[in-house]
Amino acid sequence: MRSYALLVHPSANRVYADASVSLTVAELGVLASTRLEGRLGEASPTRIAGVPYLAFDGDLTAADLILIGDVSTAMALFERGGEMLRPVELSRRDRFDDDLLTILKYPGKTNEVFTKLLLNVTVWSGREREAPLRILDPMCGRGTTLNQVLMNGWHAAGVDVDDRDFDTYAAFLRKWLKDKRLKHSVEINPLRREGARLGRRFHAEVGATKEEWKAGRALNVDVANTDTVHTRAVHQAASFDAVVTDAPYGVQHGSRSGGRLARSPLDLLREAVPVWAEVLRPGGAMGIAWNVRVAARDEALGILAGAGLEPLDAGPYRALEHRVDHAIQRDVLVARKPRPTPV
Ligand SMILES: C[S@@+](CC[C@H](N)C(=O)[O-])C[C@H]1O[C@@H](n2cnc3c(N)ncnc32)[C@H](O)[C@@H]1O
């Protein structure tokens, strides 16, 4: 076992105030209980020469270090030897420039650091599969999750009922791909099922490199502008490795108003979770961030269990709650879709 010290990115303090360290402890805890089971010890805050770090022991391979590099707040890693700190390279998975994640700013945006945490804990909780994964954000807003999924080099799909969110994201991605001179194709088409018009659909194919584009290894971004309860009409059953979403908080943001958005967050989850569970692969996981001021954790977990999923509700999974503002106390629910038992 080696001893490590992880430097948490100082910008995370702006996002979470005092919670960045405890959330990173919980995020590492999920990693230790999933992908790195038995190889990563419990993390605890420490100070070295007056600077805060997270200390943990581990028996980590090069592949494990890529996962440590994925941790949403990870800035730098050191191996400890007596008084000395030896820098350990954290290879990053990032396939694109990071302004993909930061350019768009708008009221109601889920911050990028939290989005990465939510994606991480959800993906790690599911069965490991060969990349590129396919990830769905069924209430994707202006695409913060979709952009992080692309950054990881995976296929991204989203659904959102809000026309303005759909238009803004489509315009943003089109312009960003052009500005970056990346090989791509983009189209927007009406979305119909059985003769009825459900909304619109945006589809982009993106080459992270010219070679991948030429070799037909483009990444897909697919966004449907429709009510999330129609997700099954857009996507096949068992077609996603993870479903990840930041649910409406039950408070108004600038661009979200009235109409179909007026459904209570809990009613929306009751209707939508069974549909999302259908498009999830057996062994895949669902991660939902939501405001505990609109529904208690147990009530929300009950909805996941009612849809046939297995809630993960022990240890680090119970340590992800944090304050966003006076009206929003956010928590994270994670559940796994069971694999059929062999006969
Ligand atoms: C908290 S926001 C998610 C923000 C997103 N992660 C982002 O950074 O842009 C919740 C989203 O749920 C969407 N939404 C609410 N009700 C919906 C429904 N019935 N079907 C699809 N999307 C819905 C809203 O339009 C909003 O974009």
What does the pLDDT look like over 194-225, one tens digit per residue?
A: 889 999 999 999 999 999 999 999 999 999 99
Contact 188, 200 (CB under 8 A): yes
Write down the pLDDT at residue 253: 52
For the chain, percent of residues with pLDDT exceeding 90: 85
Ligand 1 probe mutation, 110, 114, 122, 160, most atoms within 8 A of CB: 160
> How far, CA to CA in Å, does 13 sit from each of 44, 259, 291?
17, 36, 20
Arch. (CATH architecture) of 99-336 = 3-Layer(aba) Sandwich (3.40)
Distance 259 CA to ligand 1 centre (A): 13
- Measured between alpha carbons, how far is 182 from 275 in angstroms, rounded to an integer? 34
Write down the pLDDT at residue 149: 98
Ligand 1 probe mutation, 110, 113, 139, 253, most atoms within 8 A of CB: 139
- Over the stretch 67-110, which tens digit does the pLDDT of each residue have? 999 999 999 999 999 889 999 999 889 999 999 999 999 998 99
Distance 3 CA to ligand 1 centre (A): 41
Residues 6 or more apart whose CB falls under 8 angstroms from that of 235 comprise 136, 157, 279
Distance 157 CA to ligand 1 centre (A): 14
DSSP code of residue 248: -
- Over the stretch 160-177, which tens digit does the pLDDT of each residue have? 999 999 999 999 999 999
Write down the pLDDT at residue 256: 46
User: Residue 283: which region, alpha, beta or left (left: phi > 0; alpha: psi -120 to 50)?
Assistant: left
Q: Give 44-47's long-range contacts (Cβ < 8 A, gap of 24+).
A: 45/21, 46/5
Domain boundaries, the chain: 2-88, 99-336
Atom number of ligand 1 nearest to Cα 144: 8
Pairing of strands 84-88, 184-193: unpaired
Atom number of ligand 1 nearest to Cα 110: 8
- Over the stretch 291-339, which tens digit does the pLDDT of each residue have? 999 889 999 999 999 999 999 999 999 999 999 988 999 999 999 999 9
Which residue is closest in CA terms to ligand 1's atom 2? 248
Element (H, E) at 67: helix 62-70
What's the pLDDT band for 278 if we cut at 50, 70, 90? very high
Q: Which two tokens stand for residue 29?
A: 């805890």
DSSP code of residue 317: G
* C-beta atoms surrounding 249 within 10 Å: 21
Q: Taking 50 as the threshold, does the pLDDT of residue 255 lie above it?
A: no
Query: What number does CATH give the domain 2-88?
Result: 3.30.70
Write down the pLDDT at residue 228: 97
Q: Taking 90 as the threshold, does the pLDDT of residue 257 lie above it?
A: no
Which residue is closest in CA terms to ligand 1's atom 4? 141
Tell me if domain 2-88 and domain 99-336 are identical in fold. Answer: no
Contact 224, 249 (CB under 8 A): no
Write down the pLDDT at residue 262: 56
- Measured between alpha carbons, how far is 108 from 57 in angstroms, rounded to an integer? 38
Q: Taking 80 as the threshold, does the pLDDT of residue 254 lie above it?
A: no
- Over the stretch 26-39, which tens digit does the pLDDT of each residue have? 999 999 999 999 99
Contact 140, 234 (CB under 8 A): no
Distance 315 CA to ligand 1 centre (A): 29
Distance 279 CA to ligand 1 centre (A): 18
Atom number of ligand 1 nearest to Cα 165: 27
Of 10-14, 53-57, 99-103, 284-288, give the lowest mean pLDDT range.
10-14
Write down the pLDDT at residue 252: 61
Residues having CB closer than 6 A to ligand 1 are: 108-110, 139-142, 144-145, 159-162, 165, 227-228, 246, 248-249, 256, 260-261, 268
Atom number of ligand 1 nearest to Cα 115: 6
